[in-house]
Amino acid sequence: MIEAVGISKSFPVPDGNGVTTETAVLQAVSLTVGDGAFVSLVGPTGCGKSTFLEILAGLQAPSQGEVRINGQRVLEPLPATPDGMKAYRKRHRFLSPIANSLFRDKPRHDIAMIFQDYAVFPWMTARQNVRFILGLRGVPKGEREERARHYLSMVGLEEAVHSYPSRMSGGMRQRLALARAFSAEPGIILMDEPFAAVDAFTRERLQDDLLRIWETSGTTIVLATHDVGEAVCLSDEIYVFSPAPGAIRGRVPISISRPRRHQSTDVQQLKEQVLSHFSGA
């Protein structure tokens, strides 16, 4: 269960003449995602979807509003007053608020994240990548090997278990990222444009694989994408983001049954319904 209430985020942007202006990236975004749901955030590039996911994951503090995951608050919002900001900076002068504990591996929330540029570790083989994540999750040593192999074969990487990511294609790397995220068996997976960097053929196969694994695992998925077709084919619910500063323009629930074909009339109609939220402004 993810509850985001009134999330706003702005960055100070220097204009090169020594003047910094606050630029709003997100404006009062509120949404609730139920357990096991597949939700997409659709919007043009640069509308703050990635920032929103990072706020959900606790990698950035929101300027206003708060995120609760399973009832637990993720990060406190940044103080609004200059004095409050000063105290906040002082409190976090040694370790930033997003830092984990110094020596103990422990996820703060039941979350995994997948990035557009894979972010699999190039100095570990596929198997080591997954085992490393399992270690962080506190999976006992004896179980790691079996679980790593199970999830690697689930995404079709059983041949590449001992390969380094530098020898893999983009699609294989993203499969590895999928295996890594699902092997942790998290309650929630956040995906930031996961299939934007792979070619169209690979993308459709990856989408099918993702749906297949999601249906067996019962994980909640929040997917950020600029591809409306992808969002319609995959998700139960779509939130449409406006261009920067990002705010929710509309919500489109989808009830047609899976598997959905890109060409089918239902999908086309829904795509137009989603796109109408952009042109309507």
Partner 1 sequence: MPADALTPAGAPGRRQRTLLREVKLFWRSSFGSLVSRESLTVLVPLLFLWELLPRFGLLPASLVPPPSTLATTFYQMLLKQHLLAHFGDSALRFVLGFGLAVLTAFPLGVLMGWNRFIRKHCLPLFQILAPIPPPAWVPVTMIVLGIGLPMQVFLIFLGVFYPVLFSTYQGISETNPRYIASARVFGASEFTIITHIHIWHALGSVIMGIRIGIALGLVMLVVAEMQSGASGIGYLLLRGKEYFQIDRMVVCMVILGGAGWLMTEVMKYIELKLAVWRIER
Binding site for partner 1 (CB under 8 A): 54, 57-59, 93-96, 98-108, 111-113, 115, 117, 119, 121-125, 132-133, 136-137, 164-167, 184
Q: In the complex, what is the shortest distance from the CB of residue 266 to partner 1, in angstroms, rounded to a whole number?
A: 35
Q: In the complex, what is the shortest distance from the CB of residue 119 to partner 1, in angstroms, rounded to a whole number?
A: 4
Please enumerate in sequence order all residues whose Cβ is within 8 A of that of 126, keeping only pairs 6 or more positions apart, or say none: 152, 157, 160, 161, 162, 163, 165, 168, 176, 179
d(CA 5, CA 56): 11
Q: In the complex, what is the shortest distance from the CB of residue 204 to partner 1, in angstroms, rounded to a whole number?
A: 25
User: How many of the other CB atoms lie within 10 Å of CB of 141?
Assistant: 9
Q: Compare residues 87 and 256 and give the one whose CB is closer to partner 1.
A: 87
Q: In the complex, what is the shortest distance from the CB of residue 240 to partner 1, in angstroms, rounded to a whole number?
A: 26
- φ and ψ at 127, to 5 degrees? -65, -45
In the chain, which residue ranges form alpha helices assigned H by DSSP?
Answer: 49-57, 82-91, 126-136, 141-154, 170-183, 200-217, 228-234, 265-279
Q: In the complex, what is the shortest distance from the CB of residue 127 to partner 1, in angstroms, rounded to a whole number?
A: 13
DSSP classification of residue 181:
H
> Smallest Cα–Cα separation from 230: which of 274, 172, 189?
274
Please enumerate in sequence order all residues whose Cβ is within 8 A of that of 207, keeping only pairs 6 or more positions apart, or say none: 195, 230, 233, 234
Q: In the complex, what is the shortest distance from the CB of residue 246 to partner 1, in angstroms, rounded to a whole number?
A: 20
d(CA 144, CA 127): 10
Structure tokens at 83: 């004095």
